[in-house]
Structure 1
Amino acid sequence: MTEHALVVRAHRALTPEGERAVSVVVDDGRITEVLSGDDAPVDAAREIRLAEDEILLPGLVDSHVHVNEPGRTEWEGFASATRAAALGGVTTLVDMPLNSVPPTTTLDGLKAKHAVAEGKLAVDVGFWGGAVPENSGADTTGTLSDLWSEGVFGFKAFLSPSGVDEFGHLSPEQLNTAATAIKAFGGRLIVHAEDPRVLDSAPAASGREYADFLASRPDEAENAAIALVIDTARRTGVRAHILHLSSASALPLIAQAKEEGVSLTVESCPHYLTLAAEEIPAGGTSYKCCPPIRDGANRDLLWRALQDGLIDCVVSDHSPSTPDLKDLDTGDFGTAWGGVAGLQVGLSAMWTEARGRGVPLAEVVRWMSARPARVAGVSGKGSIAQGMDADLAVFAPDEPFHVEASSLAHRNPVSAYDGADLHGRVRRTILRGTEVTSDSVSGRMITRD
């Protein structure tokens, strides 16, 4: 009998064929066999056997993470972000092209990312490029194709101000130019969809009341911008993706576009699916994000769309900052930085909400592993199957998890989940057959296949 490198034995595992007992055989960092039963005969140099209260999951794929390094490393950083990811069962993340300085909008910006990430990664990391006015004009789109040739997974664009000066937003004309260029080389356009005209006509955000902040980012801002993205995708044929959907009233637009065959995918995030506007306390600026967390009825509609397949995947949009930028002392929603830090707790938060709704764990894991891998174009990740990378997470679904922001591996102790009582904890994370430890730096920089 051939000796294999590793066998992982689990009486419960989530595989493409369903939940079952398995022996997962690993060689050279890949899954070479998935045998039925946790006692299948396998000769292996190492064995990992799960406890009775544990279930084996594919490593999660989080395609929406703001690492912020270089330039704003005090907000996060590759070492802290990938460590937090591993503790949350995430084995692959794709880094957003902002809020780093420089942004990933040029080859030099991408090289800067590669340089600072080297030797710091606890999990695998890929990169999005950015579509900004400087590279989305009629004479400048060659930069987009250069970035695509270097393996970025697609291009992020804003339709309204991003919050940082070095990453400008696109006009409708620039969006069309970028989409046409990206379609020409087969790329993917991912969009922060809020309409600046609607935002400008809404009341300005200020003060400690969340309702006032919510009024400053109305549903119509998302709806109008999503309509523009759909129209652009319909006209140019580009593969388009709506980032962090929060407005359920946009769902009919999305459904119609998909029925027409428009190349469109959509993500939402744990904070939109587990939190509600009416539960956010006065001055609770750790909850501030754009687009905003909306009310409980809206949340219910997002869950229905997720279960119906209208929303394709769930990713964190981990967007941290230093505590001072959150204005925790004043609690002013008008001046606080917008972004929710939740990379480490996303799975537990989603599972806690899902079990209360009678949604099986297998669905949650699919939304957070295989689906984002497919949407982003990350190959070899997101399922426990022969030929895939041996990226696995050991999850105890019934273990209580009291969140203390100060104990998370995020660089800064600020999170909308601080003080939450959740169910489910990741106990071990395995990257290409090797368990991730507190000092692991075996993560790789990955490119589009």
Structure 2
Amino acid sequence: MKQTEDYSHRFRLAYGMASLAVGALTIGWGLVFAYMQAWSLAAMDAAVVMTAIASFALARGNQLSAALMFSQIAFFVIVVVFCLLFDVPNDAAPRVCHLFLLVLTLLGYINYRREQSVAQLVIIALCLAAFVVFASTEAALPFAQPIADEYRLVGAWVNTIIAVVMLCGGVYVMQLEFARNLDQAREIRIALANREFELFYQPQVDETGRLMGAEALLRWKKADGSYAPPIDFIPLAEQAGLMPAIGGWVVLEACKTLALWQQEEGARDLVLSINVSVDQFMKPDFVASVLSRIEALKVDPARLKLELTESLMATDIDTIVEKMRALRAAGLTISLDDFGTGYSSLSYLRQLPIHEIKIDRSFVQEAPENLRNRFLLKSIFDIARMLDLSVVAEGIETKEQFVFLQSFGCTEFQGYYFGRPMPLADFQKHWAQDSAPPLAETA
């Protein structure tokens, strides 16, 4: 969404300006220490300035995550060294540089909300642990060179004010982010109520190119007539807990489409795939709600395929298996989506009552030129044959990729080579296309 892009741009700009501000303030102290001929202190300030400039350059180069991680690590080391060597508390002046560890902790939390990683959690934990140590003890190195008290008394006030201002700035940034997320979550709720969502259909074909069905992909039709792709709103919908409601709407619309296809000679045998989120699948009434919609619209359950992501495996496996068995017993097809990128293992695959696995597009697009990926693909097909599972290859964009996957024995395909996601009216044009050349050549 344009709002997301604008926010990211503003966030990069704000972070870059903050980095320059830190550098400018540090230059002032560096000049003071140079005047005092305290060269070790001046060197520390020079390190801060260099870190600030490097962070600004990374942020300006659209490498915000790298800038945040680099600045956190560098400033953490600088603060710890400064506290141990120079900012040693005494009766005249307290230690204050450790306050900047709280700023780094807040910065780390903001970054973790943007892009979750174990490395970021480790940095946050280190900053908090170091803050507790420096706030509770007079820890210092045996060869420490404490700054003269007359400068430390002034520095205590200046650095405390700067740290508090930076903390307030971080809290303000977080408040803006929370407000933005709340506004967008509200927009999604309104869109659902106003029926602004729409299903697009991407063709799925067999090894001859004959149309077998489609995957239903969610789009949000905005007021200006443009369509927002799922990546622009699904993550926010997940955070806001709206996926069960959106997913329920998708199931209903998919069943309506299948009911329509059952009345058409050329579409009666088509299978429709829909994506199911973890939150939606784990709802206690998920199985009952799906089956009730199928029964109400008199849809053949064998024509509805549920695509579940591998992240589902991180939850209650016994409950998952029980629900899958109930759905399979009712006649639905169950597919494991994005295979090879998540939590799947042979032990899980043996337990899960699934019909097929769907290879992630990253394997497909890199395989023809990447020997390692070719070996991985061969292993996936060997596993599928061993477990009697079908394999769907998505992300097919060229004839070379299509032929390459055929050589592995793949029998189901999806990608731009056969057709982009399209509204239902446009998808109907594919119903009469029964052979590979026409469908492939029109992509």
The TM-score, its normalising length taken from structure 1, stands at: 0.33
Q: Which has the higher contact order (CA 8 A, sep 6+)?
A: 1
Q: Which has the larger radius of gyration?
A: 2
Structure (1/2) with the larger strand percentage = 1
The TM-score, its normalising length taken from structure 2, stands at: 0.34
